[in-house]
Structure 1
Amino acid sequence: MSQKRLAAALFAFFLGGLGIHKFYLGQVGLGILYLLFCWTGIPLIVGFIEGIIYISMSDADFTAKYGV
């Protein structure tokens, strides 16, 4: 597992409700959207699911999709 993918997954698990993983992946617009809706709890759930997705992806798929 690459360091970038692991970092993105950990950010999504622990700080996903604030969208930190989106900022890390260079998706600033989505990061701001997560921040705006963090009070609803929805970004927290979505961030947790995205963390699982990041862990289950291969390094090649992760690099192809996010370019990190």
Structure 2
Amino acid sequence: MRHIKLWIIAGLIALLALFAFQNMSQVELTVLFWSFQTSRIVVIGSSFLLGGVVGWLLKAFWHPGARARR
């Protein structure tokens, strides 16, 4: 079962990389009062990493054993 999960993760990362490299054009981002241009691959990669960090933090916060340690 563990090998299946690793293959699924590897496949999803490969699809993400393929998608990112096919979308390397410049885009303009506006965040509150700041505006800047960057490559779409940076936006896709940072969104992926930010989502992973948020998911990891939420899992750590709502883990069943987390309340007993407080």
- Pair in the same fold by TM > 0.5: no
TM-score, length of structure 1 as denominator length: 0.33
* Structure with greater Cα Rg: 2
Q: Which has the higher contact order (CA 8 A, sep 6+)?
A: 1
Larger proportion of helix: 1
